[in-house]
Amino acid sequence: MAEMRLNKIIADAGITSRRGADELISDGRVTVDGYVVRELGKKVDPEKVQVMVDGETITRSTTKTYLALHKPKGVLSTMYDPEGRASLSDFI
């Protein structure tokens, strides 16, 4: 497999978004083959290296799941609402 940016590998594993992955990398929470990586934009071959976030090995998901939902009126289009209003997480 071709080399991929480290933040994409982390995002594809469902850990966080690419920007969130960049923060994890900058904070020194990501290791590749046991070495801490802080270089943004670092490319690695996910089939040849072991990528860990906070000490947990991550695996890339090869399948994606898509959900369709008929959102009722009055339900917010978000997974979390700090004000406690009905949101998508109440239905999924």
Domains of the chain: residue spans and CATH: 4-57 (3.10.290.10), 63-92 (no CATH)
Look at the block and give the residue holding tokens 């943004």: 40
Fill in the amino acid letter for 40. Answer: L
Question: What is the distance between the alpha carbons of residues 10 and 18, in angstroms, rounded to a whole number?
Answer: 7
CA distances from 59 to 12, 37, 56, 90 (A): 9, 17, 10, 28
Please tell me the pTM assigned to this model. 0.68
pLDDT tens over the chain, length 92 residues: 789 999 999 998 889 999 999 999 999 999 999 999 999 999 999 989 999 999 999 987 677 788 888 888 988 888 888 998 988 888 87
Nearest to 9 by CA among 41, 34, 54: 41
